[in-house]
Amino acid sequence: MRMTGAQILWRSLELEGVKHVFGYPGGTILPAYDALTQSTIHHVLVRHEQGATHMADGYARATGQVGVAVATSGPGATNMVTGIATAMMDSSPIVCITGQVGSKMLGSDAFQEIDITGVTLPITKHNYIVTRPEDIAKTIHEAFYVARSGRPGPVLVDITRDAQQASCEFEWDASVPKLPGFRPDIQPEPATYEEALKMINGSRRPVILAGHGILISEASQLLREFVERTHIPVAMTLLGIGSFPASHPLNLGMMGMHGEAWVNKAIQEADLLLALGMRFDDRVTGELAKYAPKAKKIHIEIDPAEINKRVKVDVALIGDLREVLPKLLPKVTRTDSSEWLERIWELKGDSAVRDIQSLPDEGHLYAAHVINDLWHETQGSDTIVVSDVGQHQMWEAQYYKHERPRSLVTSGGLGTMGFALPAAIGAKTARPDAEVWVVAGDGGFQMTMPELATIMQENLKINIAIINNGFLGMVRQWQQFFYESNYQSTPMLSPDFVKVAEAYGIRAMEVTTRSQVVPTVKAARSHDGPVLINFRVEQEDAVYPMVAAGAALHDMIRRPSPLVETAEDV
């Protein structure tokens, strides 16, 4: 059948299973928007193209399916850059479609011409420029394949205006694209299995480091079986949260810069680290030279370029966890780790008595309490928390106990403020039955606040918790610790968030004391439409413990008051 390039674009997306796209129109993408009217795909109109990319990203993280963002050329395309980089750093599969000036004008600095494939070269897994309608279907099919295969990532497809307008015969080849240079299916060397098994079965003080790869590979159940067989305790990276149930007795919690003290100490004392789908980011290792000095390291990872990048490992199994773990499972034995577990509980005991429950109430509202109460109220339900970047993000990771995969969506590698609100829109669009909570700081929330209008227009039931401390809190904390409390440019005036929300037709409430937290959360949950809660929390609270940049992982700044450190589930 003869179709225009624009029609082919939507038809191809439909054939890829796309139900929703997030976008913003403009001149060079107008032919595509004109053809959208005939498509079954629902278009979510965003308020800024950065939002569209974060929405596609949130959609992908909540489901594992490829998220799609659409923008016009020039400023529309450059507005996507932050969202593409965010998806790249966290291996999130998104496809971005941009309009481009007519192919005859390429290279002439035409109105709104930007070399977006050049701009995004280092922040996409791959990108394409398409100048003929004949190439659109094949390119879209390839883009989806590349985005989701192997280690996932963002792919950008730039389509010239004339390619959208011209017509050709539509052909769809659903088979796996032939990409001779693309090998997403690397397998470990057989010998490495034997080596790894010997190390695992012979270890006395092993720790599993569970990363984002477990979620991406849908290997949570396998991990659970592995742990139940071996009794090896699990520490999680920020993005690994949800890969292993928080309530499992062998789940230690989050590791790294704001990891629990006993988790970091356990890693430092371990004789074996089994790293699964993680990349030893500087935020989880602390000073490299002093990292886990007694441990042998096994790295199971799909991306060969991650092996020995930061931490030199003893054995690497390069492949998909979903294929590697089943080969190890029948051969691993229960490690003789009872002494080791006792040692860890001893380390934990030391911190766990200082529970946040004993934080003095006295009219103060602590962010940790807000998160802890939110967790209590929503536990057991199908809830996705989407956090922004800063102190609240770390408190969320520490005090919200995630039981299920994909129940936390957050920007880890890039640490993109402004991510949460749009990513939550993506998550809610993908999972309308899930309860979605945004947890954002007063700073990051304002970076993408206009997307409140998208919530309104789409009529999405999203609950928003602003952890409002009147500061760019995480930066203020660094100034407090490392710059002699010189609070340069971190105190921040904000609008009345309640009024702002109301202007968008969103119900809003304010909470200033602990006793109001639970009733307000209950009211928000039972309200039909979106709700925003402005939690006015302690202004100069800090996230503890903390590994300062350059310090060894066990060398942590602890909360000065002996009362409190971190959460024992209460």
Partner 1 sequence: MLNTFVVYVENKSGALARVALLFRRRGYNIESLTVGRTEKPDVSRMTITVEADADQARRIEANIYKLVNVLLVENVSAVPVITRDLAMIKVAAPQEVRSQVLELASVFRARVVDVALSSITIEITGAEDKIDGLLDVLRPFGVLEMVRTGIVAMRRGARTSEPNNEQTPDFIVE
Ligand X SMILES: Cc1ncc(C[n+]2csc(CCOP(=O)(O)OP(=O)(O)O)c2C)c(N)n1
Would you tell me which residues interact with ligand X (CB under 6 A)?
388-392, 415-417, 441-444, 467, 469, 471-475
Residue 443's binding partner among partner 1, ligand X, none (Cβ under 5 to 8 angstroms by kind) is: ligand X
Measured distance CA(106)–CA(390) in Å, rounded: 41
Task: Produce one character per residue of 100-112: b if its CB has 16 or more CB atoms within 10 Å, e if not.
Answer: bbbbebeeeebeb
Of the pair 157, 370, the CB lying nearest partner 1 is at 157
Beta carbon of residue 173, minimum distance to partner 1 (angstroms, whole number): 18
Alpha carbons 408 and 412: distance in angstroms, whole number: 11
Residue 560 binds which entry of ligand X, partner 1, none, CB below 5-8 Å type-dependent:
none
| CA dihedral of residues 426, 429, 431, 434 (deg, nearest 10) | 90
Q: How far is the CB of 417 from ligand X (least distance, A)?
A: 4
Q: Which amino acid is at 308?
A: N
From partner 1, ligand X, none, which one binds at residue 474 (CB under 5 to 8 Å depending on kind)?
ligand X
What does the block give as tokens for 510? 């304010």
- For ligand X, the closer of residues 153 and 390 by Cβ is 390
Which residues contact residue 63 at a Cβ distance below 8 angstroms, ignoring those fewer than 6 apart?
406, 430, 431
Tell me, residue by residue from 88 to 117, as one string, x for binding to partner 1 by CB under 8 A and - for no binding.
-----------------------------x
φ/ψ of 287, rounded to 5, equals -55, 120
Cα distance between residue 263 and residue 348, in whole Å: 8
Q: How far is the CB of 490 from ligand X (least distance, A)?
A: 8
CB-nearer residue toward ligand X: 252 or 370? 370
Pick 151 or 402: Cβ nearer partner 1:
151
Identity of the residue, 5 or 444, whose beta carbon is nearer to ligand X in the bound complex: 444
- Which of 45, 186, 353, 549: binder of partner 1 (CB under 8 A)? 186
126 binds partner 1 (CB under 8 A): yes
Mention every residue, 6+ apart, whose C-beta is less than 8 A from residue 2: 167, 168, 169, 170
Q: Which is nearer to ligand X, 90 or 135 (CB)?
A: 90
Distances in whole angstroms, Cα of residue 546 to Cα of each of 264, 275, 408, 474: 11, 22, 22, 12
Beta-carbon-side half-sphere exposure of residue 149 (alpha carbons within 13 Å): 15
Among 17, 181, 363, 562, the residue binding partner 1 under the rule CB under 8 A is 181
Alpha carbons 505 and 90: distance in angstroms, whole number: 33
Smallest distance, ligand X to C-beta of residue 356, A: 16
C-alpha span between 294 and 553 (Å, rounded): 13
Q: Find all residues with CB under 8 Å of 314, minimum gap 6, and list them.
A: 195, 199, 296, 297, 298
Beta bridge partners of 536: 468
176 forms part of the interface with partner 1 (CB under 8 A) = no
Report, in Å, the least distance between residue 104 CB and partner 1.
Answer: 16
Which residue stretch of 123-131, 220-228, 275-283, 325-333 sits at the interface with partner 1 (rule: CB under 8 A)? 123-131
Chosen from partner 1, ligand X, none, partner binding at 472 (C-beta under 5 to 8 Å by type): ligand X
Could you tell which of partner 1, ligand X, none binds residue 426, using a CB distance below 5 to 8 A set by kind? Answer: none
Helices (H) and strands (E) in the chain, counts: 23, 22
Site string for partner 1, 301-340 (x = CB under 8 A): --xxx-xxx--xxxxx-x----------------------
Report CA 234 to chain centroid distance, whole Å. Answer: 20
- Among the listed ranges 62-70, 297-305, 395-403, 498-506, the one in contact with partner 1 (CB under 8 A) is 297-305
Contact status: 190 vs partner 1 (CB under 8 A):
no
Q: With CB cut-offs between 5 and 8 Å by kind, which of partner 1, ligand X, none does residue 125 bind?
A: partner 1
Q: Which amino acid is at 284?
A: V
**Which residue lies nearer to partner 1 by CB, 133 or 443?**
133
* Rounded Cα–Cα distance for residues 189 and 308 (Å): 16
Residue 278 contacts partner 1 per CB under 8 A:
no
Q: Cβ of residue 180: shortest distance to partner 1, in angstroms?
A: 6
Q: How far is it between the farthest Cα atoms of the chain? A: 74
Distance of closest approach, residue 126 Cβ to partner 1, in angstroms = 4
| Residue 491 DSSP label | B
Residues 251/236, Cβ–Cβ less than 8 Å: yes
Please identify which residue in the block is written with the tokens 């009147």.
Answer: 470
Q: How far is the CB of 272 from partner 1 (least distance, A)?
A: 16
CB 444 within 8 A of CB 411: no
- Rounded to a whole number of angstroms, the minimum distance from the CB of residue 86 to partner 1 is 17
Smallest distance from partner 1 to CB 118, Å: 7
Looking at 448-570, list the stretches that DSSP marks H as alpha helix, in order from N- to C-terminal side: 452-458, 473-482, 497-503, 514-526
Among residues 125, 401, 554, 559, the one that binds partner 1 under rule CB under 8 A: 125
- Per rule CB under 8 A, is residue 121 in the interface with partner 1? yes
By beta carbon distance, the residue nearest ligand X is 441
Q: How far is the CB of 203 from ligand X (least distance, A)?
A: 37
Query: Which of these ranges, 42-50, 86-94, 121-129, 262-270, lies near partner 1 under the rule CB under 8 A?
Result: 121-129
Residues that bind partner 1 (CB under 8 A): 117-118, 121-122, 125-126, 129, 146, 179-183, 186-187, 189, 303-305, 307-309, 312-316, 318
